[in-house]
Amino acid sequence: MAVLNMIKQLSYIWRKLGSIHLTVVLCLLLTADLTYGYISINRRTNLFASLNDIGLTAWIETYGRHNLLYTAWFFILLGLLTLLCINTFACTTDRVILLIRSREHFGIQRFLFKFSPHIMHYAMIILLVGYLFSYISAQVIVSQTMVPGTTITLPGKTAQITFESFEPVYYHGDRLAFLNNYVISPRAKLLLTDGDYNKTAVLSYNQPVWFKGYGIFLKNFAPRKKDGMAIRVRIDMNIRKDPGVCVYIAGIILFTAGLFMYLAEWIFFKKYTKESL
């Protein structure tokens, strides 16, 4: 009897967690919370900028807990997103089961397209889990500065990165007068070595280098101007080992696939003409 009761209760909780009403409430709360978040970030940008470097746990322990007036919205956001993931999972799983059960009613093509919203739902969960994983587990070496000729060793590895030379592309011309003789494309030549392995790579803005599980991102560089003030050549890099990246990129790809399937179904099967109104 007790077991039956428990099953009943669990089933009730599952139904409530997967309720569309909960989805609506959560989405509206998220909208309101994020709007408040805009005001908070605008007023105290410094509080949030460090989130990318020190990770979520350290951020909560420091910036987060000590500025609750400005960070409370972020904690609420985490809670609401967690609930939304649970809600999405429960709701989608129920519907997928129903869809599979009623597969005889559709042609194979239509049946596959019917999965599009569910693909997006699962993709959103993967995406959010990926973000969380990234913010919790990423190891970041912040602002690693190198000058030509210097070498660093990746933590816990024998792999080394040598900054060989800086070969920037300068902008010359009048169209972008403010940029005349300034660097438009910083290019740092790196030598990546690990034992017998040798490879040269070019690091630039929006052109990271991946090596032995680490992503190397150009953060800053100097000098910026050709024949300008005498400043030593240097690059500042953020070196990140982030296992969450693959997860959230998989989420993005899956969501995009689901989105295109959804649009295709909508365009080709004219879903909106009679249904749902």
Partner 1 sequence: MNDNKNIRRLSPILIALIIIGCSQANPDKQQSFVQIGEFTLNRISKDRIDVHDGAGRMLVLIPRNIPAPKDVDPVKIVRTPVKRVVAYGFFDVAVLRALGVLEEVLVGVTNPAGNWYIKEVKQGLASGKIAYLGDASSIDYERIKQQSPELVLTWDPSIIPMLDELGIPCAVTSTPTAMCLNARMRFVQFLAPFFNREAEATAFFDRVNNTLLEIREKTANAGSAPKVMWGDIYEKRVLVEPGNAWVGELIGLTQSDYLFEDVYGTSCIEISVERFLYSGEEADILFTYRTKEYGATSKAALARMNPLFSDIKPLKSGKVYAPLPHYVQSGDHLDEILTEIAAIIHPKLYPDFKRRYFTELPDTDPPDIGGLI
Partner 2 sequence: MISAQILFKTAAVFYGLSLVSALVFRKKPITVLIFMLAALAANAASLTLRYLAAWPMLPMYLGPVALPFCLGILSIFNKKNYENNTVFRLILFLILFLSLTAVFFPKDFYMPFIKSKTVLSHLFLLFGVTGKSCFLTGSAWAIAGFIGSKRKQGKNETRKSIIGILTYRIIPVLQSRYFLQCSMRWIVWGFSLLTLSMFSGELWSYIGWGTPVVWDDAAITTTMAIWFFYICLLHLHHTGTWTPQARGCYAASGVFLILGLNSIPDLGPFRWPF
Q: Do residues 149 and 233 lie in contact, with contact meaning Cβ atoms separated by under 8 Å?
A: no
Spatial neighbors of 231 by CB under 8 A, at least 6 apart, are 222, 223
- Bridge partners, residue 234, by sequence: 222
Q: Which does 142 bind (CB under 5 to 8 A by kind): partner 1, partner 2, none?
A: partner 1
* 2 contributes a contact to partner 1 by CB under 8 A: no
Strands 160-166 and 188-194: antiparallel
* 102 contributes a contact to partner 2 by CB under 8 A: no
Span near partner 2 by CB under 8 A; candidates 101-109, 126-134, 145-153, 195-203 = 126-134
DSSP 64: I
Strands 183-185 and 188-194: unpaired
Amino acid residing at 9: Q
Q: Least distance from C-beta 13 to partner 2, angstroms?
A: 20
Span near partner 1 by CB under 8 A; candidates 19-27, 32-40, 41-49, 86-94 = 41-49
CA 33 to chain centre: 20
Q: Which does 232 bind (CB under 5 to 8 A by kind): partner 1, partner 2, none?
A: partner 1
Q: Least distance from C-beta 138 to partner 2, angstroms?
A: 8
Nearest residue to 217 via CA among 137, 140, 162: 140
Q: Do residues 227 and 106 lie in contact, with contact meaning Cβ atoms separated by under 8 Å?
A: no
Helix (H, G, I), strand (E, B) or coil at 16: helix
User: Residues interacting with partner 2, by CB under 8 A?
Assistant: 20-21, 23-24, 27-28, 30-32, 34-35, 37-38, 41-42, 45, 48-49, 51-52, 117, 130-131, 134, 138, 140, 175-176, 178, 183-186, 205-208, 215, 217, 238, 240, 242, 245, 248-249, 252, 255-256, 259, 262-263, 266, 272-273, 276-277
User: Residues interacting with partner 1, by CB under 8 A?
Assistant: 8-9, 12-13, 16, 45-47, 49-50, 53-54, 61-63, 65-67, 75, 79, 142-143, 145-147, 150, 177-178, 180, 222, 229-234, 236
